[in-house]
Every structure is written in structure tokens, then in C-alpha cells.
Structure 1
């Protein structure tokens, strides 16, 4: 299934693979970014796939991107793990993170070759470093509770384990034991100590409060489940309290955002710093655009892109 605006420019178009691509702010942001970056096209084409898409749908989409000369490449959201599982053999080259994490978030072309990259460890780190003090975990003994072990959660866990200042423990939850097993396999391949990560299978939100109650003050709680964006809901039941003086990071910036509203409601009382997914969105898109169009980005250019995006937020 495909949504978005059909291209008619000589420069072709860039793709966007997701569930509801038409409601993303990038559709309004991309033309101004194209002007700032001097891209050959300001056309963005959405490719909407359902959450239960089968392998054939992923392979058909990758072949379409590969075989269409006007298709410059694509950003992949939500479907990163499934696209890798179903279609990684169609790529001529995969970067280290893609192979290690078993996900593809960026599809690019070079000289007739199809390239797949996993940009999320990089973009998660760029976004997190903007709000978390550099020595936070060493200074506080705080831990991380990552709600969701899909592509975004896996990438964040990988980034956190590579930090000089890494948490003493990372607890990951998911309703799907298969995703937890996939995350464990990534950690084992990456040589991450087994004691560093806890893998918790939950059946629903009411399994989570006990984990938060046991977390030290200052801990980081992340909603990487997709709840509140692609489908309504929160990984936390109503009334759940977050760790005092901690951080609540909602990976999403659009949707019903129940987790974000829950965190903001207790921010003042419990001293919680609440962060939405806007800067993650900025870094995620800018890094993939740079890969697709083979351009370099510096910090000043990223800030220009952010300022342009704020105008349509």
C-alpha cells in the first residue's frame, strides 16, 4: 500500500516506509529541508504497510525501490526489524549495525548497488546526549527501563552499552518474547555482558509498575513500544509513578501520546524531566537524508533544519 504525493520532478523522490506516513510532519518539513540542503528533489513518497504485513509485501517494496530509477532511497520506521528479516538478502551491502541489530532504517543507492543501514543507534545517541548529563549514570547509579524491545529499543540499548557512562543495568520489556530473544541475540553477538541487561516478558501495562518501583532515583524510562503513535495506549497503567528525579523519554512526537501525558502530569511533583520524540525525529530524518543523498551534515546545518521544522510542528 502506498500513500503520499506522486513525484513529477526530474530529481525523482525519496521514500518513507511506515504505517501512517501521511500524518507525519516530515511531509510538510521535507520541501524546506530540500531547499536548505540543495537536494535534487523535494518530493517525498509514503509507503504504508500494516503492522502485520507478510514477507512478500516487504520484498515487493524493496524491489520497487531498488528497480525504480526515480526512487532515490527511503527512511524506514516501525518496520525496521521485519524489513530486515524478510528482505535483507536483496541488499548488496549492509552496515555493521544493520547486521548486528537485524534492522534496516535507511535504504540508499550507490552506483547501482542497494545499501541498507541501521541509523537508530546513532540517532538515539544524538538525541539522548542533548538532555542527559554526560556523567549521569556514574553520578547517580541510575538505571534504564526500556519499554519495548523492537528496532528502536534495540538501537537504544546498543547505544547505551557503548557509552563511557553507561547505566549499571538496563531492563527491557516486551509483550512479544520473540523480540526479547532477538534483543538478547544482538547483545550476545555484540559481546555485551549478560548481567547488564534484564529481559522481561510482560502481558500488559499492569506488569510494569513493579519494575518502576524498583528502579533507583534518576532512572531513565523510555516508551519504545509504539503505543501512543501507531495505535492508542500506553505501556503504563493509569496512576503509575515514575522514578523521582528521573527522565521520561517518549520516542513519539505525534499521535495520542498517552505515555507523554502521564509523565507530564507528575513531572513537577516527582522532579521528572519529560522529553518527547521531536529531536529524535529531527536527527533520525536528517541522518537518513544525508545517507540517501550522500551529503555531509554538521551541527550548524542540523540546527538550521530543526529551526525550519519547528515552523510546522
Structure 2
């Protein structure tokens, strides 16, 4: 293996399973390196810190590119002008989750709308919304929440929820999300934007959902910071689905959902498949590979051995 390496931009990258998984994938995919280097930035990182990091990736000939988690929207806001090319998803969703290099060109892409759609298809049965009439409540309007609302809006109208409610703690986050959907031409009556100031308000939204609805924790709580966007005692929809986007951390939302799994007929999904799709898609970008579904499943099996 060469001195080249791939980067990982996050908050606590040393705790991620990818550090063990990546060398296994490097062997399967015959990558030119099995080295993964973490770049930890605090949640309140400055514009200058983001720009310095992008410059370091761009200017180091041995740095092949990077996956960005947690900081996706901040990297775009602080350093979009430093990229030679941005894909349409990055511009529309105003986030960068994949940094790759093609010769002297540095490319920023937003892979989340693709990866979250793949993970959603793995989590839900086919034609779930068409059969059940369930709605979706996305707790959190950051990068992952934005991507999921985008992916749901892009589904075949015959099998997408009749209502998608997205919550945030600030009007600014909701305004930015609304601008994304307005730019895409999403039907105005499909997305409901709700500011919530207290966990009890989020619990009330959950309680109002019809049976078979999907509730998603896209806040980052339970991973980068302890906690859940919902209070204890929240009542999940009967025969519903609870999706925790995280697979590591304190995972309070996941534990709340699992406590009601039997009584409510709740289907509980953690973030493992999202993790697999997210990383495999960015690795493919960084090393300019094409992944078939069969190869992705081989990568998933290898990763499962480390879990």
C-alpha cells in the first residue's frame, strides 16, 4: 500500500467503525491505500477552520479525498467557493459530504440524497406508503434530514407519504430547507415545516401521526451529543417505524423506540445500513469506482464482521 490516504471529517472520528472496516474494504476493492485519517472539528468550528481543512485536502498530493459527516452543511457554507466543481445535489441541498480529486480539480458532492434513499429502501417494505397511508416525521432539518425529505419527495407519487413533517429548533434551518424544496419544485402541500422549542412539542407531533408512520431521528442527538429529540414516555405510532440515523453513541432515541417495539408493533431500525451506503458511495467517488449492488453487499458482509 502507498503513502496515500483517505480522510474522514467529523467530530469523534476515532470512535467510528469505519476505522476497522476501511482496510477490509480496501482489500476487497483493491484500493491503492488502506489508510484512513480522521479530521476532527468541534461542532462550533469556525469558517477559517473549514477553509484550512479543504485547502489541506486540496494541496496534499497524497490526500485522495474525504467523507464529511456532521459538518456537511458548514463545509458548503464556509468553503463552497474553493471547489472547482459541485454536483447539483450539493448546490441544491447546500451541503458537501464527499470531497474527491480528479487531477488538479477538487470536487464536492452531496451523496446523502442517494445514500439515504438506498437505506430507506432497505428499511421499509416495497410500497409501504401506498399500502398503509403512513406519514413521515423527520426530527432535524440538517444535512441528513434535508436529504431524507428530498429522497421522499422524489419517490414515485404512487408510493410516497401524503405528508412529511420536518422539525428544527430554529426558523433559519427551516427557511433553508424550504428554499431547497422550492428550488426543486416540490409540491407545496407535501412538506410541513415545524419549529419546536421543547421536546414535548415533538412528542405531540409523534402522537398525532397515523398508524404505520415513520419517525426519524436526524438531529445528531445520541451520537455527537447525548440525548434524544423526544422525551421519555413518547408514544410511537402503532405498527410504525422508528429510524435512528446513528449506529453508535448513547443512542437514546433508539432505546426509547426499542422499549415500545413489542407493545406498539414498532419496527426499529438503526443507522448501520445508512453507514454502509454512505461510506461505500463516497469511497467509490474518492477512488473513481463503480459499485454494483453485489459489490455493496460484499462490503456490507465484510463490515458486519466488525460490528
Give me the TM-score of the superposition, normalised by structure 1.
0.96
Unpaired segments of 5 or more residues in structure 1?
1-8
Give the match for residue 46 of structure 1. 38
- Is 1:160 aligned with 2:152? yes
Contact 1:248/1:274, CA 8 A, preserved across alignment: yes
> In structure 2, the residue corresponding to 1:270 is in which secondary structure?
coil
> In structure 2, the residue corresponding to 1:82 is in which secondary structure?
helix
Q: CA separation in 2, counterparts of 1:87 and 1:204?
A: 33
- Is 1:294 aligned with 2:292? no
- Is 1:140 aligned with 2:125? no
Contact 2:75/2:95, CA 8 A, preserved across alignment: yes
Moved over 3 A (4+): none
Shift of residue 131 of structure 1? Answer: 2.1
Alignment of 1:175-186 (within 5 A): 175-186=169-180
* Equivalent residue for 1:274, pick from 265, 268, 279: 268
Q: CA separation in 1, counterparts of 2:305 and 2:171?
A: 41
Contact 1:252/1:276, CA 8 A, preserved across alignment: yes
Shift of residue 91 of structure 1? Answer: 0.3
Give the match for residue 237 of structure 1. 231
Q: CA separation in 2, counterparts of 1:269 and 1:10?
A: 53
Shift of residue 10 of structure 1? Answer: 2.5
Q: CA separation in 2, counterparts of 1:11 and 1:199?
A: 47
* Equivalent residue for 1:20, pick from 9, 12, 19: 12
Unpaired segments of 5 or more residues in structure 2?
none
- Aligned pair count reads 305
Alignment of 1:1-313 (within 5 A): 10-164=2-156, 165-313=159-307
Q: CA separation in 2, counterparts of 1:293 and 1:119?
A: 15
Shift of residue 84 of structure 1? Answer: 0.2
Shift of residue 171 of structure 1? Answer: 0.4
Contact 1:105/1:116, CA 8 A, preserved across alignment: yes
Q: CA separation in 2, counterparts of 1:176 and 1:298?
A: 40
Q: CA separation in 1, counterparts of 2:151 and 2:299?
A: 24
> In structure 2, the residue corresponding to 1:62 is in which secondary structure?
helix
Q: CA separation in 2, counterparts of 1:220 and 1:229?
A: 20
Contact 2:133/2:161, CA 8 A, preserved across alignment: yes
Give the match for residue 4 of structure 1. none
